[in-house]
Amino acid sequence: MPLTSIDWIVIVGYLLINLLIGIYYRQRASGNTEEFFISGRDVSWWLAGTSMVATTFAADTPLLVTGLVARQGIAGNWIWWGSCVGGMMTVFFFARYWRRAEILTDVQLVEIRYGGKPAAFLRGFKAIYLGLFMNCFILGWVTQAMVNIITVLLGPMIAQGRVLQLSVGGRAFHYALGDPRYTALMICIFILIPFTGLYTSIGGLWGVLVTDVFQFALKMAMIIVLAWVAVAKIGGMEALQVRLKMIQGNVRASGIQAADPTAFLPDFHLGLTTNALWTLPVLTFIVYLGMQWWLAWYPGAEPGGGGYVAQRMFSAKDEK
């Protein structure tokens, strides 16, 4: 289904709002280094907390969650719900210490904690490794998800073989589009990523925090609207449950174990086997609860909540 004029107005309006927020906080962010990177340590707890949650969502999130629910039902979400517990523990145990450190970046803590030339080297290494290499990997998989979304969303507009015409100085230039996924990738690289970098660099952390809240509120509202419309389109909750039961019955008839797709908790009656759909989410939850939140590195969920999570914590007004 091609995008209509109203669709384009909404898209452009959304982008403009983000840009205007960045411009609004430009003067405040340009005050000094602390204002730009940590908002002058004057961020309210609710703003910092909402930004932490909002930043965990990206273009890959709806694709991942949709796939989990399609394959394992609602209970399949425990594979990432477990990290929520780790995130809360991180904030509860480490937020006060991040705030007391009064630093600008999480890698700065390395040099303060250990001292000497080895600590300075480790700080520089972590800055390059995490800031350059790891961020490139993360940007890569998020961009891949956005490529998938754009390929479907724009559809006929970027169809292979379509010829684009551009007139410059009385001369007409023609360009035939190739693979739609390649065109979508070019849109990400030359339009979306630079635009995001523009409004975040203009507004500093203040602009990022406020756009996070705006995007989070908009996203949650649209998810509710989409769920309402989707269920109504099917014929209501009863019709949805009937169809899910039919699918569950067909799967079981094929000899594959299948739990109730609408169950909030996994079906433990299927046993502790690799075929049971509940096994992986539960084991993942246990690992997150016991080890992942303090032992392993993941952007925003590493020991003590480094990265963007730590940045929000030491930009807060106080330890509370």
DSSP string, the chain: ----HHHHHHHHHHHHHHHHHHHHTHHHHTS-HHHHHHGGG-B-HHHHHHHHHHHT--THHHHHHHHHHHHH-GGGGHHHHHHHHHHHHHHHHHHHHHHHH--SSTTHHHHHHH-HHHHHHHHHHHHHIIIIIIHHHHHHHHHHHHHHHHHHHHGGGG-TTPEEEEEETTEEEEEE---HHHHHHHHIIIIIHHHHHHHHHHHHHHHHHHHHHHHHHHHHHHHHHHHHHHHHHHTSHHHHHHHHHHHHHHHHHTT-----TT-SS--GGG-SSTTSTTHHHHHHHHHIIIIIHHHS--TTTSTT--HHHHHHHTTBSS--
Most confident of 86-95, 130-139, 219-228: 219-228
pLDDT at 305: 62
pLDDT at 295: 58
pLDDT at 189: 92
pLDDT at 207: 93
Q: Per DSSP, what are the bridge partners of residue 167?
A: 172
Query: How far from chain centre, in Å, is Cα 16?
Result: 21
- pLDDT band for 270, please (50, 70, 90 cuts): low
Mean pLDDT of 287-304: 59
Q: Tens digits of per-residue pLDDT, 180-200?
A: 888 889 899 999 999 999 999
pLDDT above 60 (res 238): yes
Q: Hey, how many other C-beta atoms are within 10 angstroms of the C-beta on 206?
A: 24
Task: Say if pTM beats, i.e. exceeds, 0.85.
Answer: no
pLDDT at 217: 94
- pLDDT band for 288, please (50, 70, 90 cuts): low
The amino acid occupying position 60 is: D
For tokens 């960045």, what's the residue? 22
Lowest-pLDDT range of 35-39, 223-227, 249-253, 313-317? 249-253
Cα–Cα distance for residue pair 150/183, rounded to 1 Å? 9
**Beta carbons of 85 and 288 less than 8 angstroms apart:** yes
Lowest-pLDDT range of 196-210, 239-253, 262-276? 262-276
Domain boundaries, the chain: 5-313
pLDDT above 80 (res 91): no
pLDDT above 70 (res 306): no
State what percent of residues in the chain have pLDDT above 90: 20
Q: Tens digits of per-residue pLDDT, 20-69?
A: 999 999 988 888 888 898 888 888 989 988 998 888 888 888 888 888 88
* 307 or 8, which is more confident: 8
pLDDT at 274: 47
pLDDT above 60 (res 277): no
Structural tokens at position 61 = 């999130």
State what percent of residues in the chain have pLDDT above 70: 82
pLDDT at 90: 75
pLDDT at 130: 81
Mean pLDDT of 267-295: 61
